[in-house]
Chains A and B, each alone.
Chain A
């Protein structure tokens, strides 16, 4: 029986210059005991639909047409009534467990507060109920953990607490907005298992919003694919993944990748590897494993505490003289993860690209400089007109192309790519990766490719090194690593990687 019915829902944002449709005539139905996956790139309107259900759309957005019917209630008919259902009939799980709990209250206090807002229970009863809930979501020693503060829990545990909060008033509908995006792969699968288990046990209707096809393949019963506010396709997960009807869904499947997580700086311990000229070497690991630290040491942003880095048989970590250092700066360039922070927004594209050229060749004539800039823009498939624009006029993928053009301007031999595609949308990722591959062939570049994303690395690299907690576990040829991993951790990583193939088993 259909529990939640979204009829012809449209949400639009009245902007100064135009009206932006965040969702357009969306029709979705969810049954009890079912997980509906809502997938799409960022900006596709998947979160908007989630927010429309609970009437939490930010100004100036508004629901312009359509209705949301929960059981036999029309939610948008009476905006007062939604307050009663939020948290009561509808539970919410947010993306980031760091920010969705109040850090100055104990977990228990937050649970009791939520329970007492919606249910008429005494403090004692509420406490018992919360402890049971914590047990249900898999928190050990629930009685003692009850009095702990959120910071005393790990990321995964905290997300469990968030789930228990969402469940505490016996909701019938659960909306999970990217519930595992901020978590590491190994924890991701545990949380997904938990959501699956709770759906069956409590007969919940669940909407799982994500951009990760792997997550969908493992958890969702049915899937709805969104693009630019439109519902492209909806149906059984297996059917959509194996026989997508729409072209967009097909491209989405082909390029499915998992999401980025933030890099934190951690010490790197006793890591040794070498990269041959013209090779692409991949470095993989979870966030915090030290991948970015290694990248920054290679491009000489940090100095290692001990150990050396040799480039062309010269130790680049011990160079003192600026002129010597400049020679290596010219040969080793880097592409960054976030194309929004890696370009100076106050400079025109041509000035951004000109900077390395004029720095290393101050006598270049204006004509040669302009021609060189146009050549570089052409090689990253941007028009000459782009040169006179500012970075904010470009999309994320185009910005990453500018960033690549800048890195190539000094004609480097080694290109360090630190998660170059993880901040980009799925359909753009593939274009950037192909561009990098083409450029590598044309220019005989050596590439160090850093990523936490195994499918990407598999596509890009000849050899791969696996990092964990600052240590290198395993280095081997790409296909060997995927087919016969030797180290335990590599096996674990491969096993936990959400796979589309799981649907076929």
Chain B
């Protein structure tokens, strides 16, 4: 009971989550990979010697250089170059930043929307709950890629062509976010139904606390665990959805390519022998999504006491 004297760091070190993390090689490896990827993508200007989007750095002389370890490879382009002589590694890291920004923003958008609707639906019940839950049912019958394509199509109709390239990233965030909210709504509604019948909620009601404060101060922190777990796995899905959309050509424009755009661009060269242009972005995407999923699985196992052995 002398926990009070411990610093925050000592408290973290003492927690079960830290302990489970230290003892799980999967968690350590996947989070290390993710840390490196996140760090390199967000501080990409510091990490890479080239800025692939600075026209002055383009050199057609260097175009289609294969990876450095092959016969014709150059040491300065570790993963080779693309059709415009841009360094693949730098391009991938820049692309990864776009993918991560879109993925994170989309998931935060759908978290806010889904948790907000799910929490209020579970708490108030009645007709409002029924409408929200039927909406999620409808939404879940439409494949999320189709939903995103639909949103993108509508956006193209509404926004002028010049504007569209600028707006593309926001449209994408909205399109992915809107297709992922139902699962957050479902999970948070179910958790709210459990929490709202607990005595601490009754206690607050009896004290006279208003519904809004009960929902956000008392219930929300108690339902966050399951929501964050599916949020992590949702992040991987959102990044993949972004790549799929970009691959299909409805995502971010080639001037600011994401991983999906890079895979699409490289796809054209696949059969003429320049395999690295599409292979490296693809393998990078796989590693990224796989690491997030592994970390998400570990989180689910750790945070769910029922699965504890």
Contacts and interface: CB of A to CB of B under 8 A. Distances in A.
Interface stretch (A20-28, A63-71, A150-158, A332-340): A332-340
Interface string B1-40: 1011000000000001001000000000000000000000
A341 B198 contact: yes
Contacts of A389: 1, 3-4
A301 B208 contact: no
How many chain A residues sit at the interface, stated as a range, is: 35 or more
Contact of A329 (B4, B206, B309): B206
- In the complex, the 10 A-B pairs of residues with the closest C-beta atoms, listed nearest first: A342-B199, A329-B208, A346-B221, A336-B199, A356-B207, A341-B198, A344-B200, A341-B199, A299-B206, A326-B208
Interface in A102-127: none
B222 A393 contact: no
A13 to B, nearest CB: 13
How many chain B residues sit at the interface, stated as a range, is: 20 to 34
Given A336-B199, A344-B200, A301 B205 contact: yes
B206 A334 contact: yes
Interface in A373-413: 385, 388-389, 393, 403, 406-407, 410
Contacts of B218: 344, 346-347
10 contacts: A296-B202, A330-B208, A336-B203, A341-B198, A342-B200, A342-B203, A344-B218, A346-B218, A346-B222, A389-B4
A406 B4 CA distance: 22
A393 B207 contact: no
* Most B Cβ at <10 Å: residue of A300, A326, A342: A342
Contact of A388 (B4, B16, B202): B4
A265 to B, nearest CB: 11
A16 B4 CA distance: 21
A84 interface: no
A359 B200 contact: no
Contacts of A141: none
B270 interface: no
B222 A344 contact: yes
B84 interface: no
A345 interface: yes
A59 interface: yes
Given A355-B209, A385-B4, A393-B1, A403 B203 contact: yes
A393 B221 contact: no
B221 to A, nearest CB: 4
A325 interface: yes
Contacts of B221: 344, 346
Interface in A299-318: 299-301
A406 B206 CA distance: 11
A336 B206 CA distance: 11
Interface string B55-76: 0000000000000000000000
B304 interface: no
A336 B208 contact: no
